Structures are given as structure tokens and as C-alpha cells.
Amino acid sequence: MSSRTQPRLDVAAVALAGLITLGATLGASPATAQPSDIASGSGSGAGGLGSSGSAGSGSAAVDDPVSALPAPASTAIRLAGARNFRDIGGYRTADGHTVRTGVAFRSNRLSGLTDADLVTLATAGVTLDVDLRNGSERGSAPDRVPTGAQYKVADVVSFDSGIAFHEFPPITLTRAVIDGLLHGSSDMGQSIGYPFMVNFHGSDVAFATLFRSIAANTGGATVYHCTAGKDRTGWATAVLLTLLGVPRDVVNADYLATNTVTGDPTSVELSWLEAAFAEVDRLYGSVDRYVREGLGLDQATIDALRARLLA
């Protein structure tokens, strides 16, 4: 084999290794521990927290980030068959708006929903289910969807749009490993998987599909999910809340709330989320540019998202 063709094969092998890690990591089974409600805050609400908006900034600004979130409303939906189901609304934005409740819900897989859960979702007006999982996950644990609701796939690790990256994959992989070691990551696979969700073009297509779907679903509420409801779903939620203007400290707290909701303090680690935001900063400079240039959302879609989700 010539030296000219060898590097290309090496790149493909490393890229594939990164994607395999991404797929295996993000397809992990959800925690089985019993959930507890998100701890109530001091009464000041999420809007009182500051943030500079840069990746990693404010990550340690709150000793117990989850306690800074608004207390769950007495009407908060709880599903017996989806422990990590929760509304993304209720947060204050930096410019004084509030993210509407009852419009978008994040969750773990919906394959275990009970008949009563389906009635609950129908009553809540859920008309669209966006599935971020890969084909194997969908095949082994198909969703249960409320009667009349639309089901849509937005596979974050799909090769349907080709195998393309925004950054030379070995660079992403090497930097992720180094950053994971420096931050004392408890799971190197997660430290690698999160930046690849930003670097891999197929993930762009999936997240763009999700955001366009939420914006277009004006006739009801949307639920989106992966398997555990914490990684692919966690990054999608972090990007969406940031786009809406929710301060970074609150975005971090919403992400970490999975540990409280599932009762498993090791479900997610802030360094993983920060690794994805850091990749955004390196490739695009800001979340706004990532959404526009990486995901390819136009201004009309961004305006529709904000109109749909902000009060």
C-alpha cells in the first residue's frame, strides 16, 4: 500500500473509532434507581443567576447547581415508564423572558410507557415524538406513542448523511482524551463522545431536525429523547436553552438535574457538557454560530423557535 493512501485509511479508522465510542457511549442503558424531585431553590428563581456565556464559565459558580433551579410545579408530569421525563420550561432568560412550560419535554426512552402514561401525554397535548436513538436502540426498544401523535427519527449517530467531520477526527479524539484526563473524567468514553456530537455532520442533521420539528409543531407539544435521556438529549437541551437565552449556570443545572431525577449521582458529569461547549467555541466561536453554520438553521426557524418557546 502506498504512503499516499495510508493516512486516509488511518483517518477513517480513527474517525470510525470515535463514532463507535460515541454510539456505544450515548446508547448506554438508563439508570434504574428511583427518581426524586428536583430540589427546590431559594425562591429567587433561575433568572437570578449570572453567566458570561462562554464555554465552561460559571460551571462552579453554584456549589449545588440543582438547588438553584425552580421548584417543580405541583402539576409537573411524572411518568411511571420514563423516569427522566421532564419539562424544559420554566427558566428565566437573561433578557427577562420565560421558557414556556407544556411545549417541549425531554425524556429517556419511551418504550416502557404504561397505558396510563400514554393517557397523561395525550392529556398534556403531546403530538410529536422525536427519537434521537440509533437503529439498534429503536429496534430493541421501540417507542410507545400517544394515539394520534407523530413519530420522527433524528438519529444522532446516523451515517445516512455521510461520514463527514468539521475537524480532523484525530485532533478531536486526542484533545478529548487530554481534556478528560485533566478534568478527572470518570468516563473517558463520555469525554470523547460529547465533542464528537459537535464535530460529526450526522449529529448536525439530527439536532437540526429536532429543532425544526419543535418550531414547526405549533399544534401541540413535543417530546424528544434518547435512551437514558441524559447525553444526546442533554446536549440538545443545553443548546436549545442557550439559544433561547437561558444563562449558562442554569443550563448546567438543568443538565445536572438528571443526577437528582434518576437518583444516580454519577449519571452525568459537568466536564462532559463543557467538552461539547468547548468544541463549539473552537469550531464556531459561539452557540449562535454553531446553530446557524453547523446545524444550518435559518433565521426564520430560530425566530419560530423563540416565538414558540418564549413568553
For 91-104, the pLDDT digits (tens) are: 999 999 999 999 99
Indicate the pTM of the whole model.
0.82
pLDDT in tens, 255-308: 999 999 999 999 999 999 999 999 999 999 999 999 999 999 999 999 999 999
**Among 215, 260, 205, 254, CA closest to 233:** 254
Amino acid identity of 190? Q
CB distance 61 to 249 below 8 Å: yes
Helix%, strand%, coil% for the chain, nearest 5: 45, 10, 45
Contact (Cβ atoms closer than 8 angstroms) between residue 264 and residue 35: no
pLDDT (tens digit, 9 = 90+) per residue, 179-205? 999 999 999 999 999 999 999 999 999
Q: Which amino acid is at 80?
A: A
pLDDT at 93: 95
Supply the pLDDT for residue 285. 97
| Residue 225 dihedral angles phi and psi, to the nearest 5° | -165, 165
Confidence of residue 107 (pLDDT cuts 50, 70, 90): very high
Give the pLDDT confidence of 112-162 residue by residue, as tens digits: 999 999 999 999 999 999 999 999 999 999 999 999 999 999 999 999 999
